[in-house]
Amino acid sequence: MGVLLTARELEKSFASRVLFRGLNFGVTSGARIGLIGANGAGKSTLLRILAGQIPPDAGEVIRQRGLRVAMMEQEARFAPGASVESAVQQGAVDLGDDVYDPDVHKRIEVVLSRLKLADLRDHSVDSLSGGWRRRVQLGAALAGAPDLLLMDEPTNHLDTESILWLEDFLSSSSLSIVLISHDRLFLARTANFILELDSRYENGLLMMQGELSEFLERKAERLAGLSERERRRANLLRRETEWLRRGAKARQTKQRARQEQAAELADEVAQLKRLNRRQRMQLKFGSAQIDEDRAPEKLIVAEQLGISRGDRELVRGLDLIINSRSRIGLLGPNGCGKSTLIRVLLGELPATTGKIKWAERFRATHFEQGRDTLNLNLSAIRNVAPDGDSVVIGDKSINAKAYLSKFLFTPEQAVLPAQQLSGGERARLRLAQTLLEPSPLLVLDEPTNDLDFETLEVLEEALEDFQGAVLLVSHDRAFLDAVCDEIWAFATPMAPQLVRYASYFQWELARELTLTAASHELASADRPGSREGAGPQTKSKVSYKDKFEFENMESKIQSAESELQALTQAAEAAPPTKSAEAWQKVEKAQAEIEKLYARWAELEARIKS
């Protein structure tokens, strides 16, 4: 396994703040490295240094001779009016290739075909959706046949179907990759190394081979070890300090040596405290308390709801109840009408057909996808306190800067215009605004964009403790599954019907089942004698045993899913010594369920053929 690139003693500062210092790591052939870290840790900056776009303040990046590196930026940038073909060709030109060279031309055609862009080659990139623009951006990166692909938030602007496609593409690719992503499921399915930037680690980073779940377990052990070391060294420092204060009877040279050791120990304890100290965002959504003995109040009731915009039908015949305990996720491709449906349910837009009934004195708190309520020209403090220096939480008034500090804003950041804040900081500022609007229904439209792992975890915990209802749109599938207890998904891309699922993963399995059945039908249609007019049709024989298995498969899957749930609960409660074994059982049960679904699809295809 060759080393493609080595980073040595890298250091970079932004303004007066040190992003990282003394970073040392390597990228080997075939590695798919997930680069993670808190907002502002310097991930994008590090990626740009590796790409050679900006220099480090100190240190160096040593590249294998002739190494070809391609970079996918967070935001796709193309020449004005560029066609899909010319945009992809530009990727090869950027790495020094001649697009008129027959071999390069053939490579570009393969990329266009592989990414399903060939039929769009003459289309303007500007006319494409965010997901297809991202695909063109990937095509441009691959057109140069890079040895190393750097990707900054590749799932940004992608809907769930596109993310699943990208997961499959990267997982089956032999490319070496370094990618930044806050999408935990995407990282778990694509990365085989994890590198985290974090000043708590001795060298500013922690890099481990393995999947994200393994990394998180070992990281927890590492940080626990640091905490334990801090406790022990602090106790030793206390004993040494007491000894010195007593003026113990000893030779002068020995006492001087103890004093020097105590000073070194004090420095070590201070360093450990700094490494172990991590301020955590404080998040608590306010709502009316729910009486557990009362039936849930119906906040919104939609009956035979239909929504059209122009000549396009977005929603048809939807019956939906949102009560005071609902946790509903909306799932569908970009442009299918999720945000429009939310605005209709909130009474901000009219429905085309059907009716909606709202609870008396109904109100909702709406976290909108574009974060439109943020005034980018105003400071963070003026966005939460327009007319003074305090905000009101419940019946208490607190200082606005103190309030923003709960969302990890420093006093200096609090007075910066919002347009100077990073994407993650703007997301936290919008959450700070949202908490000032308590209501029985939280409507969250893509709240997870730009949020780091720790902030996502805090947000999940806050929503778990929230006493009201949640209506959520998110392409972060792990977040969606953790927060919601039911998913309403558009039946097929751009279809106006919505179908209810118990969880995101049930939707994903149903999708796989549908795709498998469709592929079986296609294969059956392509067999000799299966086409109309091609001769007598021979109906495949299905045994009684197969029919019996098919009829009982649904209950068998339900039983397996119940067992999986029990195993998952047992694994979560297992002591550390039994944790690995317990999670192995969970993985085995999950694999068995996937086999059952695949067998179900196979039997269904045979019976219906």
Q: Are 501 and 592 members of one domain?
A: no
Percentage, residues of the chain above pLDDT 70:
78
**Statement: residue 536 has pLDDT above 60:** no
Total domain count, the chain? 4
Q: Which of 259-273, 339-353, 499-513, 566-580 has the highest mean predicted lDDT (pLDDT)?
A: 339-353
Q: Which long-range contacts does 320-324 make (Cβ < 8 Å, 24+ apart)?
A: 320/345, 320/488, 320/498, 322/298, 322/441, 322/469, 322/471, 323/296, 323/297, 323/298, 323/299, 323/469, 324/290, 324/296, 324/297, 324/299, 324/440, 324/468, 324/469
Asked if residue 327 belongs to a domain, the reply is yes
428: its two tokens? 């936290």
Same domain, 203 and 221: no
Nearest CA among 273, 256, 143, 134 for reference residue 199: 273
CATH of residue 319's domain is 3.40.50.300
Q: Is the pLDDT of residue 118 over 60?
A: yes
Question: Cα torsion for 580, 585, 589, 590, to the nearest 10°?
Answer: 0
Between 195-199, 216-220, 462-466, 591-595, the lowest mean confidence (pLDDT) is in 591-595
At residue 25, the pLDDT reads 95
The domain in which residue 566 lies consists of 510-608
Weakest mean pLDDT among 33-47, 163-177, 411-425, 538-552: 538-552
Whats the size of the chain, residue-wise?
Answer: 609
Two tokens at 301? 């009731």
Residue ending a domain, among 215, 230, 261, is: 215
Within a domain: residue 304? yes
* 283 inside domain: no
Do 339 and 396 form a contact (C-beta atoms < 8 A)?
no
Confidence of residue 277 (pLDDT cuts 50, 70, 90): low
Which of 127-131, 222-226, 379-383, 556-560 shows the lowest per-residue confidence on average (mean pLDDT)?
A: 222-226
Mean of pLDDT values over 213-234 = 72
**Whole-number pLDDT of residue 563:** 85
List, in sequence order, the alpha helices (H) in 540-575.
Answer: 544-573
Answer whether 121's CB lies under 8 Å from 127's CB. no
Query: CA–CA separation, 299 vs 431, rounded Å?
Result: 23
Q: Which of 505, 533, 549 lies at the terminal end of a domain, its last residue? A: 505
| pLDDT confidence of residue 387 | 84
Q: Do residues 326 and 456 both lie within one domain?
A: yes
Q: Quick one: 207 and 226 in the same domain? A: no
